[in-house]
Amino acid sequence: MPSFSLDDIRCAAEAKYGSTDIDLGSRIVKLLNPLRLPKTRRLALVAVQEKLNTEGADQEALLSEALTLVAESSPAAKALMSAVGDDLAVLVEIFARYSEGTQAGEASPSAG
C-alpha cells in the first residue's frame, strides 16, 4: 500500500498549485493560487471577479483589489501596486498571467 509523508504531499501541492511570481527587481511578489488562500480571501476574490464582468465597472480598482487579495502579504501587495502605479495595461497583463497560471488548479475536481 502506498505511503506518503505530509512533506511529499505539500511538495506535490506546491508543484501543482504554486504561486505566480512577479519580479519587481528589488523583490519578488508571490501571487497565491486561490486554492492556497484562506477561505475569506478566496470568497472575496470570487466577488471581485464577478464585479469585473459588470458593465461600467472600475477595472483598475477591481484588478488592484484582486491582486491585493492574492498577494502573499499586505506589504507585498503594496510593493506591487506601487511598482505598477496607474498603468491599467500592466494590471490587466499581470492578472491575465495570474489567471492563466491558476486555471488548472481551479478546474481540478479532485482538489476537494
The pLDDT confidence band at residue 109, using thresholds 50, 70 and 90, is very low
pLDDT digits (tens, 9 = 90+) for 35-65: 999 999 999 999 999 999 899 999 999 999 9
Question: Would you kindly state where each structural domain of the chain is located, as residue ranges?
Answer: 6-105
- Give this prediction's pTM: 0.84
Model pLDDT, residue 96: 94
- Are 74 and 80 in contact by the 8 Å Cβ rule? The answer is no
Q: What is the CA radius of gyration of the chain?
A: 15
- Are 21 and 31 in contact by the 8 Å Cβ rule? The answer is yes
Cell numbers linked to 27: 523583490
pLDDT digits (tens, 9 = 90+) for 9-24: 999 999 899 999 999 9
Distances (CA, A) of 81 to 22, 36, 71: 12, 21, 10
